[in-house]
Chain A
């Protein structure tokens, strides 16, 4: 998986910015040679992660959300970082992300959609207390994708 291009966006914790930002990331994936379907799904992932960041992030003036997109030959790695949350929140998020049919922790609709559309998701916290969610979406990550691509 050789690295191609990367993109970084930083914007205020304000829902008004999300439609423009998600569209920009989707367009960028088209520019990098991914299919319109892949691009649309990427847009949904960005929308859900950013809406969560706005919902749970602080409303203080100057607080911002950072998105990083690494475009690779067969995948896109998205990282969304927001200044909200604490160690307990991150632990809860890990539980939610780790939930499956055998482990029925409550999963919000947004994160469930993100989990369905990606092949990997992890959460961490920076030393400044920022919450970081990293997801990887591959070109053909499951049978449904392969059949409908």
Chain B
């Protein structure tokens, strides 16, 4: 077993984050050095800590306790402590000690940074698609969007509403687009508070009278009781926080903003 060592440095990608690199065997004897190292971090207000465990051979239960104590103090200061680079055997041992119920494990530092920025900076992330204009693709697009928003912490109800909006807009884009172009576009942007969806189809020289009719229908989507169709836009309007239509010479774009409800 290699000798215990603890080193820390500021993350190269984000100065708010400290990376602590542990190595060797963290046994009873090493716990003091571990605790002192983390004490100095907490005192210097380095509150978000990634502990890199890739070169750790062994962790004793007092060492896990010390890490838990440090995490608790960091959380009191609005920070956190997460673990990266666990080998399968170390992960298994930590799980047996119940550490998986306390710490979040990550595969690499990059994913931690991404999650940290998502939580703290509230910057939007963007997904863009160019898809064949075929109705068969719509369920797959719906599932893609729903899966992304749930992965990012939106609940099932929000995800269902967002996928319903995407479903209706995509079906409309396919139905009313220029079929010879064989493609349409979706731009999807999400942050912790809202999603923005833009669905664009390609059209050719829309008749001004038809453009006017589309705009009117868009402003006031009326559901005709006698018809089995035409409910899509009304449904989208009901589920959206904001809805906007742009018609230009090349195509039609529907913009939707949906604020997170949970």
Contacts and interface: CB of A to CB of B under 8 A. Distances in A.
Interface in B116-142: 117, 121, 123, 125-132, 134, 136-137, 139-141
A128 interface: no
A116 interface: no
Contacts, number: 83
Contacts of B129: 7-10
B191 to A, nearest CB: 12
Given A16-B114, A59-B110, A24 B144 contact: yes
Interface size, B (range): 20 to 34
B117 A19 contact: no
A28 B140 contact: yes
A54 B111 CA distance: 9
Interface in A1-52: 5-17, 19-21, 23-24, 27-28, 31
Contacts of A23: 143-144, 147
A20 B148 contact: yes
Interface size, A (range): 20 to 34
A19 B140 contact: no
Interface of B: 13, 107-108, 110-111, 113-115, 117, 121, 123, 125-132, 134, 136-137, 139-141, 143-144, 147-148, 151-152, 182-183
24 contacts: A5-B182, A6-B130, A7-B131, A8-B129, A9-B127, A10-B127, A11-B126, A12-B114, A15-B107, A16-B148, A19-B147, A20-B144, A20-B148, A20-B151, A21-B144, A23-B143, A23-B144, A24-B144, A27-B140, A31-B136, A31-B137, A55-B110, A59-B113, A60-B13
